[in-house]
Amino acid sequence: MGEFKDRPRRLGGGQSRCPHCGLLADRVATAEHDWVLLEPDVMPPAHRVPAEHRWIVLSDGRVTVYGVCPPVPEQRCRIEHRLACAARPLPDLWPWLTSLRGENARRASRQADPTLLPPPQEWPDAG
Ligand SMILES: [Zn+2]
Protein backbone atom coordinates (compact mmCIF):
# COMPACT_ATOMS: atom_id res chain seq x y z
CA MET A 1 0.00 0.00 0.00
CA GLY A 2 3.02 2.28 0.25
CA GLU A 3 1.71 3.97 3.37
CA PHE A 4 4.65 3.20 5.63
CA LYS A 5 6.10 6.69 5.26
CA ASP A 6 2.73 8.40 5.67
CA ARG A 7 1.31 9.35 9.00
CA PRO A 8 -1.33 6.78 9.87
CA ARG A 9 -4.54 8.52 10.90
CA ARG A 10 -5.69 6.14 13.56
CA LEU A 11 -4.09 5.86 16.94
CA GLY A 12 -1.96 2.80 17.19
CA GLY A 13 -0.38 3.42 13.85
CA GLY A 14 0.28 -0.18 12.78
CA GLN A 15 3.74 -1.30 11.82
CA SER A 16 6.62 0.24 9.95
CA ARG A 17 9.78 -1.26 8.58
CA CYS A 18 12.95 -0.15 10.31
CA PRO A 19 15.03 1.79 7.76
CA HIS A 20 18.22 0.34 9.26
CA CYS A 21 17.58 -3.41 9.59
CA GLY A 22 14.35 -3.87 7.63
CA LEU A 23 12.45 -5.60 10.44
CA LEU A 24 8.90 -4.63 11.27
CA ALA A 25 8.36 -2.55 14.39
CA ASP A 26 5.24 -1.07 15.93
CA ARG A 27 4.75 2.54 14.90
CA VAL A 28 2.95 4.17 17.81
CA ALA A 29 1.75 7.70 18.45
CA THR A 30 3.25 9.41 21.47
CA ALA A 31 1.48 11.71 23.90
CA GLU A 32 3.76 14.44 22.53
CA HIS A 33 2.09 14.20 19.07
CA ASP A 34 5.04 12.40 17.58
CA TRP A 35 5.72 8.82 16.55
CA VAL A 36 8.04 6.20 17.91
CA LEU A 37 9.05 2.79 16.56
CA LEU A 38 8.60 0.26 19.36
CA GLU A 39 9.95 -3.27 19.50
CA PRO A 40 6.98 -5.62 18.98
CA ASP A 41 6.02 -8.28 21.53
CA VAL A 42 8.55 -7.18 24.15
CA MET A 43 7.34 -5.88 27.53
CA PRO A 44 10.22 -5.99 30.01
CA PRO A 45 9.71 -4.98 33.66
CA ALA A 46 10.15 -1.20 33.86
CA HIS A 47 12.85 -1.44 36.52
CA ARG A 48 15.09 -3.28 34.04
CA VAL A 49 15.00 -0.39 31.55
CA PRO A 50 16.65 3.02 32.09
CA ALA A 51 13.96 5.56 33.06
CA GLU A 52 14.22 7.68 29.93
CA HIS A 53 13.83 4.62 27.66
CA ARG A 54 10.65 3.19 29.23
CA TRP A 55 7.50 3.65 27.19
CA ILE A 56 4.12 2.90 28.70
CA VAL A 57 0.80 2.69 26.90
CA LEU A 58 -1.81 5.26 27.89
CA SER A 59 -5.55 4.54 27.99
CA ASP A 60 -6.01 6.08 24.51
CA GLY A 61 -3.37 3.82 22.96
CA ARG A 62 -0.67 6.47 22.74
CA VAL A 63 2.60 5.96 24.55
CA THR A 64 4.69 8.15 26.79
CA VAL A 65 8.02 7.89 28.56
CA TYR A 66 7.62 6.45 32.05
CA GLY A 67 10.28 8.24 34.04
CA VAL A 68 9.01 7.42 37.52
CA CYS A 69 11.90 6.48 39.81
CA PRO A 70 11.74 3.99 41.32
CA PRO A 71 9.15 2.43 39.02
CA VAL A 72 6.16 0.52 40.36
CA PRO A 73 7.57 -3.04 40.74
CA GLU A 74 4.94 -4.75 38.59
CA GLN A 75 4.98 -2.06 35.88
CA ARG A 76 5.91 -3.37 32.44
CA CYS A 77 7.04 -1.14 29.61
CA ARG A 78 7.86 -1.11 25.94
CA ILE A 79 11.19 -0.20 24.43
CA GLU A 80 12.16 1.58 21.24
CA HIS A 81 13.20 -0.66 18.38
CA ARG A 82 16.45 1.34 18.04
CA LEU A 83 17.60 -0.18 21.35
CA ALA A 84 17.13 -3.66 19.90
CA CYS A 85 18.07 -2.91 16.28
CA ALA A 86 21.02 -5.04 15.19
CA ALA A 87 21.92 -2.51 12.50
CA ARG A 88 22.45 0.41 14.87
CA PRO A 89 24.92 1.01 17.69
CA LEU A 90 23.48 0.78 21.17
CA PRO A 91 22.83 4.29 22.51
CA ASP A 92 24.29 5.42 25.80
CA LEU A 93 21.79 3.77 28.15
CA TRP A 94 23.50 4.57 31.42
CA PRO A 95 25.23 7.98 31.06
CA TRP A 96 26.49 7.98 34.66
CA LEU A 97 28.12 4.60 34.08
CA THR A 98 29.68 5.83 30.84
CA SER A 99 31.23 8.81 32.64
CA LEU A 100 32.50 6.54 35.40
CA ARG A 101 34.11 4.32 32.76
CA GLY A 102 35.65 7.41 31.15
CA GLU A 103 37.02 8.53 34.50
CA ASN A 104 38.43 5.06 35.16
CA ALA A 105 40.01 5.03 31.69
CA ARG A 106 41.79 8.29 32.56
CA ARG A 107 42.89 6.91 35.92
CA ALA A 108 44.14 3.70 34.33
CA SER A 109 46.13 5.52 31.67
CA ARG A 110 47.67 7.80 34.33
CA GLN A 111 48.64 4.71 36.29
CA ALA A 112 50.16 3.07 33.20
CA ASP A 113 52.38 6.11 32.55
CA PRO A 114 55.61 5.47 34.52
CA THR A 115 56.52 9.18 34.55
CA LEU A 116 53.44 9.86 36.66
CA LEU A 117 54.12 7.20 39.26
CA PRO A 118 55.05 8.55 42.66
CA PRO A 119 58.80 8.23 43.37
CA PRO A 120 59.76 5.03 45.15
CA GLN A 121 59.66 5.39 48.89
CA GLU A 122 63.10 5.71 50.49
CA TRP A 123 63.10 4.05 53.85
CA PRO A 124 65.89 4.96 56.27
CA ASP A 125 68.20 2.04 57.05
CA ALA A 126 67.08 0.24 60.12
CA GLY A 127 70.69 -0.61 61.02
ZN1 LIG B 1 16.14 -1.97 13.01
* Cα–Cα distances in angstroms (integers) from residue 5 to residues 1, 96, 104, 107, in the given order: 10, 36, 44, 48
> What is the whole-number distance in angstroms between the Cα of residue 115 and the centre of ligand 1?
47
pLDDT interval class at 6 (50, 70, 90): very low
State how far the Cα of 84 lies from the Cα of 59, in Å rounded to an integer. 25
- pLDDT at residue 112 in the model: 80
Residues with CB under 5 A from ligand 1 (ion): 18, 20-21, 85
| Beta-carbon count within 10 A of 75 CB | 15
How is the chain split into domains, by residue range?
15-113
> What is the whole-number distance in angstroms between the Cα of residue 97 and the centre of ligand 1?
25
Three-state SS at 111? helix
> What is the whole-number distance in angstroms between the Cα of residue 88 and the centre of ligand 1?
7
Residue type, 78: R
- Tens-digit pLDDT profile for residues 16-48: 999 999 999 999 999 999 999 999 999 999 999
Tell me the average pLDDT of the chain.
85
